[in-house]
Amino acid sequence: MRYLLIFLLTLALHAIETPQRMSFEWSFSGLPILKASLTAKNGSNKSVRMLLDTGTSTTVLDRSVSSAFVSTAGPETTARTSFGGELNVEPIIIHKLELAGISVEELTGLRSDLSLFNRTEDLPIDGIIGIDVIKKFKFILDLKNREIIWGGNPNGFYLQKVAYTETGTPTVTLTISNKKITALVDTGDNGALELTEDDYAHFKSNADMISDGTQVDATRLSKESIVHVSPRAVNLGGKSWCNIYIVSRPGLVLSRLGIGAMWDSIWFDFQNNQIGLAIGSSGCFNSHGPIRMPIHAFWDRTGSMPKLVVVGVKPNSYYEKIGLKSGDTLLGVGEIGGEELSLVNLEKTLRGEPRVNIKIERNGKIIQLQ
């Protein structure tokens, strides 16, 4: 019997350590979206789409998620965001959340209105997986191949210890122009390195710039100052980035390292307080440039039929040439309309068809574009 127990225990440990591969999808704004499962007290299940966000301290569910999966844990209050703003939230207990074969029961979380985020997404998310759940796992986030490898090992990664903010989110220490700064490790940010105004002022007065520009961030609809810095200007431990995009974001409480600065894969092991970045063929970290989408739009889901409203068109882009303008409401592209209409389908259709009718509403009038 003793040998049987030892054998079964060995199998169990092997199952835990065996890496599990799980594909994820990019949101339209370039953030990792996972599939998870919620279970109610009565045993009913719901598949949910969740943003994987190391920059959020507590797991959040959208208000649209049924109360069967949660219990209220207190009166509605406000939570402060890392951008300096406040968010109305309701403390809840999530009965059961399952991710990658691991169940977390009676999880303390929050419920909030995520419609602002979902207005920029082709498919709305049901919630955000925060560091309170993420810290229970070791995994590789493979951005290039859109895959998460649960378990595994950090071979090939440059490892660095992380510290934590008061709310439990992970940070690393960077050196920029001989100044040490603390940066949040944030998979919920699609940029590269975003600096507070104070950190940016020091950087800009000392670092060598290659280019200046402006980007419109699809998720926040705000203009930002962007610079592309010279190689080796930003360091983490004994390594540096080959080159990296840096953004100054007004109102930012803490500088942050986004998805673009951790390309093309990241090792996370918060049980041992470490992350690992992949080193490129040149011996330095890679950086992915900021997303410069040719068209920006948000979903108006307040009516019976969702509407896709254009809020920005890149100058000299194909979308500008066919006549789309800010304020237009997309009603149909070729044979696609209604809930099937999305920016992804719009791009696919326009790429595949040399001439296609685009139906829009502009200033209360229905117009056909080609």
Structure confidence by residue, pLDDT tens digits, 251-306: 888 999 999 899 899 999 999 999 999 998 889 998 876 555 677 777 777 777 77
Q: φ, ψ for residue 38 (rounded to 5)? A: -110, 145
CA distances from 152 to 76, 136, 341 (A): 40, 14, 39
Tokens coding 169? 């989110």
pLDDT of residue 341: 76
Q: For residues 257 and 51, give the distance between their C-alpha atoms in angstroms, rounded to a whole number.
A: 17
Look at phi and psi of residue 84 and say left if phi exceeds 0, alpha if psi is from -120 to 50, else beta. Answer: left
Q: For residues 192 and 38, give the distance between their C-alpha atoms in angstroms, rounded to a whole number.
A: 32
* % of residues, the chain, pLDDT over 70: 83
pLDDT of residue 241: 92
Cβ atoms of 234 and 241 within 8 Å: the answer is: yes
221 or 94, which is more confident: 94
pTM score, two decimals? 0.78
What pLDDT digit, counting tens, does each position of 321-353 carry?
A: 888 888 899 888 888 877 777 777 777 777 666
Binned at pLDDT 50, 70 and 90, residue 178 comes out as confident
Between 42-51, 83-92, 121-130, the lowest mean confidence (pLDDT) is in 83-92
Q: Which residue has the tokens 């068809």?
A: 353
What pLDDT digit, counting tens, does each position of 200-214 carry?
A: 888 877 765 554 444
pLDDT of residue 179: 87
Q: φ, ψ for residue 212 (rounded to 5)? A: -120, 155
Q: For residues 203 and 197, give the distance between their C-alpha atoms in angstroms, rounded to a whole number.
A: 10
Tokens coding 224? 């930002």
Q: What is the mean pLDDT of the chain?
A: 83
> Is residue 8 pLDDT above 70, yes or no?
no
Dihedral sign computed on CA atoms, order 195, 201, 205, 211: positive
Average pLDDT of the segment spanning 307-323? 82
Average pLDDT of the segment spanning 92-115? 93
> Which has the closest alpha carbon to 217: 327, 291, 115, 288?
291
4 or 191, which is more confident: 191
Side chain identity at 229, as an amino acid letter? Answer: V
